[in-house]
Structure 1
Amino acid sequence: MQFEKCFLALAIAFTAATPSFSQYKEPEKKEKVEAFYPEVTFDSLQAKRMLAKGNAVIKGVAYTKPKTKLGYSAPLAPRIYANKMTVVLFPVTPYVEEWYNLRKDKENIRKRRFVYLSKDAYRHRLEAITNSDGEFTFPDMKPGKYFLQGLLDYTYKGTYNAYTGTGYNNYGGQTDYYQQKQYSKDFQDRIEEFVEVKEDGEIVKVNLH
C-alpha cells in the first residue's frame, strides 16, 4: 500500500513537470478588418506637378492641449508643443479629398478607423521635422491647397487622492484617510489642417493643432 502511494505521488509530480503537447491547437479568432480606399483614381502626374518647386513658404507651429475627462481639449490648458514630430504634407487632389471625407463619415465609426491612402498616394508627400517649440517649415512651395498632418505623442501627469483607510474614535465617529498620489497617462493626438498658398512667393503661417 505504501509503495502504491509513493508511485502515485511520483506519477503526479512527473505529469505536473512535463509540458503537455497537443496535435491540434485552436487558433484565436481575429477580428476581420476591412480596409477602405477612395474610389477616385489617384492622378500621380497631378500630384507631382503640385509638389514641384515654387517660391512660397509654409511656416507653422504644431501643438495640442490636454484632454478633459470627456475627451475634449481643455481650452484654458497650456499648449503641448510637438517636439521632433514629423509633419506630413499632401497635395489636395480629388483622391486626397475623398480620403479625408471617408475618414469623417459619421454614419460608420468603425469604417472611419480603417480608411487608407494607396501606396502611390502616400508616396507623393513632403515631410518636415518640428523643433522643440513645435515650429516647422515647408520651403519652395507652389500656389495650391495642401493637407498637413502629424501624430503628436505626449504624457499627461496629474495627482489624485487615494483612499488609505478609516480611523474610529471612542465616541463612534470615523475619519477617512487619503494619500495624494501621482499618475501619468500616454496619449497620441492626430493633428491636421488644410492650408492654401494663394500667391507665388508668399509666406503662409498655420497653426497645426
Structure 2
Amino acid sequence: MKLKKYALTLFCMLSAITVVNAQYKEPEKKDKAEIFRPEMPFDSLLAKKMLAKGTAVIKGVAYTKQKHPLGYSVPFSPRILANKITVVLLPVTPYFEEWYRLRKDKENIKRKRFVYLSDQAYRYRLEAITNSDGEFTFPDMKPGKYFLQGMLDYTLRGTYNAYTGSGYNDYGGRTDYYQKKEYFKNIQDRIETFVEVKENGEIVKVKLH
C-alpha cells in the first residue's frame, strides 16, 4: 500500500513538472520581431537558369568608409577594405525584385522589422571570398542582372573630452577640467550593389560599398 501511495505521489510530481515546463512566456512587445516575406512564389527554374555557367567574369573590390556614430559618413576618411569576407551573389528575378521593394518599404532594424527571402530563394546564390585587399571574383557568369551583398565588420575609433572635475578660485570662479580619452565601437556595415552582365566573354568591374 505504501509503495502504491509513493508511486502515485511521484506520478503527480512528474505531472506537475511537465506542466511547468510546458508554460509559454509571452515576450514583451519591444522584444517581438516582425518578419516579412514576398508573397510572390519563387521560380527556382528561372533562378537556376540565371546561375548556369557562362563565360563572363565579375571582378570587384569590397570596402566601406568610416561612419560617425550618428550614421553619416566621415569626410575624407580612408577606405576600410573588406578583408576575407563572404560576398553573396543573387540573381535578380521577379521574386527578388518584390523582396527588394518590400525591404525598402518595411525594414526597420531598430524596431525589429525584418524582410527575409524564403529559404528556397536563398539557396540559389553564389559566394566569393575577398582577399586582404577586398578583391573578389565571380567567374563563369551568364548575361543577366545580379545583386551583390556583404557584411563588413570594423571598429570605429575616436576621442572625446571626459569631465574629470572642477576647481574654484578665491573669487568664486569655477574652472572645469577635461581629459581627452579614446573610445572604440564595433560596427557592421551591410554593403550592397547591383551589377549587370550584358554579354558573354566580358569582364565587369564593380565596387561593392
- Fold match (TM-score > 0.5): yes
1:172 Cα deviation from its structure 2 partner:
3.1
**Which letter does structure 2 place at the counterpart of 1:118?**
S
Secondary structure of 2:120's counterpart equals helix
Q: 1:64: which partner in 2?
A: 64
CA distance in 1 between counterparts of 2:34 and 2:167 reads 57
CA distance in 2 between counterparts of 1:200 and 1:59 reads 14
Alignment CA distance shift 1:75-1:56 (3 Å): farther
1:36 Cα deviation from its structure 2 partner:
1.4
RMSD in angstroms over aligned alpha carbons?
Answer: 2.2
Alignment CA distance shift 1:148-1:180 (3 Å): same
Q: 1:190: which partner in 2?
A: 190
Secondary structure of 1:95's counterpart equals helix
Q: Structure 2 unaligned runs (5+)?
A: 1-18
Secondary structure of 1:105's counterpart equals helix
The question of whether the paired residues in 1 share the 8 Å contact of 2:86 and 2:128 is answered with yes
Question: For 1:41-87, what per-residue CA distance to the aligned partner results, in whole angstroms no more than 9, with x for missing partners?
Answer: 11111111111111111011111112234312224211111111110
**Which letter does structure 2 place at the counterpart of 1:99?**
W
The 10-residue stretch of structure 1 (174-183 or 116-125) with the greater mean CA deviation from structure 2: 174-183
Match 2:25 to one of 2, 18, 27: 27
**Identity across matched positions, percent:** 74
**Which letter does structure 2 place at the counterpart of 1:27?**
K
Secondary structure of 1:60's counterpart equals strand
Q: 1:181: which partner in 2?
A: 181
CA distance in 2 between counterparts of 1:113 and 1:77 reads 31
CA distance in 1 between counterparts of 2:143 and 2:113 reads 32
The question of whether the paired residues in 2 share the 8 Å contact of 1:105 and 1:112 is answered with no
The question of whether the paired residues in 2 share the 8 Å contact of 1:102 and 1:112 is answered with no
1:128 Cα deviation from its structure 2 partner:
0.5
CA distance in 2 between counterparts of 1:199 and 1:66 reads 36
**Which letter does structure 1 place at the counterpart of 2:27?**
K
Q: Structure 1 unaligned runs (5+)?
A: 1-22
CA distance in 2 between counterparts of 1:30 and 1:118 reads 27
Instruction: With the length of structure 2 as denominator, give the TM-score of the two structures.
Output: 0.81
Q: 1:74: which partner in 2?
A: 74
Say which one has the larger Rg: 1
The question of whether the paired residues in 2 share the 8 Å contact of 1:36 and 1:115 is answered with yes
The question of whether the paired residues in 1 share the 8 Å contact of 2:108 and 2:114 is answered with no
Secondary structure of 2:35's counterpart equals coil
CA distance in 2 between counterparts of 1:181 and 1:90 reads 44
1:131 Cα deviation from its structure 2 partner:
1.1
The question of whether the paired residues in 1 share the 8 Å contact of 2:33 and 2:113 is answered with no
Secondary structure of 2:36's counterpart equals coil
